Structure 1
Amino acid sequence: MLMTLTVIGCQAKQAPTQVVYRFDDHRFLELTGYNCEGALWYTDSQRGIHSQISSQFYQIFTKTYIHPSEKYVAVPWWHTGPGGLSASKDYGKTWQSVAASPGPNEPNGDNSPPQDDVISFTVVNDQGFLITKKSLYMSSKPFEDPRVQPGGPGIPFTTEDGAQHVLTAQFPGWAWGSVYLTKRGLEHDTAQYKTNYQGLPDKVPEVKNYKGWDHMRCDMNAGKGK
């Protein structure tokens, strides 16, 4: 008696993908995963960009999120605050983690705000602004000080103890868009001597005619079936 064994292949169920934020009609964020956690991708269909921000563990930011800026793209995580952001300075082609802010930004001396204090995150004119219950955190103006670029003369400065120092191209300090500070925290950082960290605003610039979403959106039941 001839018996035929039939092997039935079993294909793993593919995790759902959903758009969780739209900047405009051609730029958006996609999350692949269950329970609104997983891999996060950025797409700009006009520029032909499709880049991965996080391979796993991304959780959506639930506070107000306004982002008309295109060259500087900053994406907050659920646990946002300085250190809880991913940013791109090339229209979303490449991404980096934004550094936790140094110095006493908070009234109690902490360097970053508690999660529950975060109110909103706005990126306008290629500069990011994080509003909390007690403070306004912001990135620098979107350029580098030429004095600390290769061939530049450097920036001499004097510390409180009278010591002389120089910021140079070899040790230029924070690059633009790579750290978020309050004006309180800036007083304790050498970034204060660079032109892109000077004359920072006291409030978030007005955003007009924004066509994107003002919050991230996510279906917790996506991919689970009935």
Structure 2
Amino acid sequence: MLAVIECQAKQPPTQVVYRFDDHRYLELKGWDCEGELWYTDTKKNIHTEPVSQFYRIFTRKFVHPSEKYIAITGWGAGGFIVSKDHGQTWNSVRFSPAHNEPNGDDYAPYDVVISFTVVNDQGFLLTKNSLYMSSKPFDDPRVSPNGPGIPYKLEDGTMETLEPSNSGWPWGLVYMTKSGLSESTQQFKTNWQDLPDKVPEVKNYQGWDHMRCDMDAGR
């Protein structure tokens, strides 16, 4: 009992759980590899908290050379925390609403996840069944605040328009499969066109290829 009280009275340990390169890394503060997640870029003097509590590391292959667009998923791979400004601010992201998995799920069950790669400011979650990806890293200017919108034709020949005020997600804030994209009006935006069929090759990556955590840290 005394040992338990002493342990609880200590400050939770902080450990580096992922290194992108020599100046960017993720730290986890908490017991038993669960807790607060912090992002640090020593060159840009950025130190922010993407997840305030209950974060558990992603244990599949994780390769992330991208610097402007930073995407982080946790143990369950049920969604992402992303930054589009080098880690200064963060947003929560979910998968597309389409039913992409063979069992009808609209997300990737963890037991089928193979890897998560973020390269050229675009994220790719590879599973045994599908490839989920974010859009190319820009917004279609036609749906900018002063843009003309994007006209498109429905199957019955009716013309509709994606209006700037109601055009869907900004770049990088949703992950789609190509099959899900084919059922979405996002397919008409240039940042969702000509997407790859496989994860782009990453060469000469200097960071870690998996997250790491010591369950006994602080004991």
TM-score range, shorter chain: over 0.9
What residue identity is the alignment partner of 2:15?
Q
Question: Are residue 100 (structure 1) and residue 100 (structure 2) matched?
Answer: no
Tell me the residue number matched to 1:45.
42
Give 1:99 deviation, angstroms. Answer: 2.3
Question: Are residue 15 (structure 1) and residue 12 (structure 2) matched?
Answer: yes
User: What TM-score do the two structures reach when normalised by structure 2?
Assistant: 0.93
Question: Are residue 110 (structure 1) and residue 105 (structure 2) matched?
Answer: yes
Tell me the residue number matched to 1:36.
33
What residue identity is the alignment partner of 2:89?
T
Give 1:102 deviation, angstroms. Answer: 1.5
Give the secondary structure class of the aligned counterpart of 1:153: coil
Question: Are residue 70 (structure 1) and residue 36 (structure 2) matched?
Answer: no
Tell me the residue number matched to 2:168.
173
The structure in which a higher percent of residues are helix is: 2
Question: Are residue 140 (structure 1) and residue 135 (structure 2) matched?
Answer: yes
What residue identity is the alignment partner of 2:168?
G
Given that 1:104 and 1:184 are in contact with CA atoms closer than 8 Å, whether structure 2 keeps it comes out as no
Give unpaired runs (5+ residues) of structure 2.
Answer: 1-7
Q: For residues 52-105 of structure 1, what are the alpha-carbon distances to aligned partners after superposition, in whole Å with 9 as ceiling and x for unaligned? A: 011100000000000000000000111104xx2100000000000112311122
What residue identity is the alignment partner of 2:58?
F
Question: Are residue 187 (structure 1) and residue 174 (structure 2) matched?
Answer: no
The separation in 2 between residues aligned to 1:30 and 1:206, in whole angstroms, is 27
Larger Rg: 1
What residue identity is the alignment partner of 2:77?
T
Give 1:161 deviation, angstroms. Answer: 4.6
Tell me the residue number matched to 2:119.
124
1:210 to 164, 181, 205: 205
